[in-house]
């Protein structure tokens, strides 16, 4: 995992640790919610990925364990997290720790001259997903089906959708790092 462009802002010992063992220090995250208002809508899923291991924290099950898990990692990677995920998490968990480094890929790609959301960038860079065509609104509807009807298939699909969101952050981080370093992307 190429983190050189961002680790310069970390204190030297931590920067070296992150660069030497990113799988132990970097957490990718994405949330699902009941709507867009952090004041009125609930947090439904906090999806995380460390290395290749996906872990979901789900409302009504284990969501309250999420902040302690996040606190274990000094580097968080999101897409649009500075304006949505982290403020939403902080509204629901006021004592949420601050990461030593937050890489918001939405901002990074915007600064590189790319516009659009996660799905548009995935498409542009050839990243696939089995939930192609799904949106955040579909995630809200899946959560409602789970809550109202206890439809396990809806919950499984919601978690699968979230997992794909989180999993595609890693290759987008790699692409962004290559572009920031002025190199041609691999492949």
For 161-174, how does the pLDDT look when each residue is reduced to its tens digit (9 = 90+)? 999 999 999 999 99
Q: Is residue 186 part of a domain?
A: no
Compute the half-sphere exposure of residue 53: CA atoms within 13 Å on the CB side of its CA. Answer: 7
pLDDT at 187: 43
Q: Is residue 97 part of a domain?
A: yes
Q: Is residue 105 part of a domain?
A: yes
Question: Range of 72's domain?
Answer: 4-180
pTM for the full predicted model: 0.91
- CATH of residue 136's domain is 3.30.420.10
Q: Is residue 107 part of a domain?
A: yes
- Residue 133 CA to residue 49 CA, distance in Å, equals 22
- Residue 76 CA to residue 101 CA, distance in Å, equals 6
Look at residue 121 and tell me whether its pLDDT is greater than 70. yes
| pLDDT tens digits, 39-91 | 888 999 999 999 999 999 999 999 999 999 999 999 999 999 999 999 999 99
Q: How many domains does the chain have?
A: 1
Q: Is residue 185 part of a domain?
A: no
């Amino acid at each position: 995992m190429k983190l050189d462009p961002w680790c310069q802002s970390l204190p030297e010992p931590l920067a070296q640790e992150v660069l030497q063992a990113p799988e132990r220090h970097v957490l990718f995250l994405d949330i699902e919610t009941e709507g867009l208002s952090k004041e009125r809508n609930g947090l439904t899923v906090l999806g995380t990925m460390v290395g290749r291991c996906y872990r979901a924290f789900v409302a009504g099950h284990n969501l309250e364990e999420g902040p302690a898990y996040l606190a274990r990692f000094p580097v968080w990677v999101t897409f649009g997290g500075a304006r949505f995920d982290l403020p939403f998490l902080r509204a629901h968990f006021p004592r949420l720790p601050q990461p030593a480094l937050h890489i918001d890929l939405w901002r990074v790609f915007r600064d590189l001259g790319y516009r659009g959301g996660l799905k548009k960038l995935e498409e542009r860079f050839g990243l696939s997903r089995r939930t192609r065509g799904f949106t955040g609104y579909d995630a809200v509807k899946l959560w409602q089906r789970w809550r109202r009807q206890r439809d396990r298939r809806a919950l499984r699909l919601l978690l699968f959708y979230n997992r794909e969101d989180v999993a595609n952050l890693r290759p987008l981080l790699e692409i962004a790092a290559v572009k920031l370093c002025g190199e041609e992307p691999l492949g």
